[in-house]
Amino acid sequence: MPGLSFLSKKSWHTSNISNQEKVWMAEQKAAAEEAKTKELAKQIQAEREKEEMERITGKKSLDTGIDWMYQGGVEAKIEQEKRLADEYLLGKEITGSTSKATEEVGGTSANIKAEQLFLKKRDNEIASASNISDAGNERDDYDDFVRRHEDPMYLVSQRRKELKDNQSKKD
């Protein structure tokens, strides 16, 4: 049928390159979704097996309904640092940046107290400048500690301070 050769140029025709591309993209997306579903199914199965083992052994765990919120937080960071320290003690190579970060997070109690005093003084100055009562702005020492140490810029500033001190000692 020589008179119908124009059909392949129509937007809805199956031999059109853009339509073939759309079909291929949809197939890839479906394959990725299926792989993701299988991975989630494996993860759920592993969790069920873990719960079954805990039930059999009598080990009580925290409410698993909210455990996912705490994964990757401060506790995970501490666990990772302990694991890195153990690996170091076992003779495995550790990069220098992780050990520096561990030293910086530890800090001395004198540094922590000095920083707490500085932050309280700064908060008092801000409160007095804006005529806000001081009683409403008081924070626990723990809250100040957490606020500073969970701030990523804290580690950066400590590292810069160390580098500056090291350079001044060399000069």
pLDDT tens digits, 10-46: 888 888 888 899 999 999 999 999 999 999 999 999 9
Q: Which of 12-16, 76-80, 158-162 has the lowest mean pLDDT?
A: 76-80
Place of tokens 């008081």: 138
Amino acid present at 140: D
- As a whole-number percent, the residues of the chain with pLDDT over 90 amount to 17
- Angle in degrees, 0-180, between the axes of helices 141-149 and 109-129, rounded to the nearest 10: 100
Quick one: which H or E segment has residue 35? helix 17-57
Confidence of residue 84 (pLDDT cuts 50, 70, 90): confident
Confidence of residue 98 (pLDDT cuts 50, 70, 90): very low
pTM for the structure as a whole:
0.32
Q: What is the pLDDT of residue 99?
A: 43
DSSP at 9: G
**Cα 93 versus chain centre, distance:** 24
Q: Residue 91: left if φ>0, alpha if ψ -120 to 50, beta else—which one? A: left
* Residue 163 reports pLDDT greater than 80: yes
51-64 per-position pLDDT tens digit: 888 888 887 665 56
* Residue 135 reports pLDDT greater than 70: no
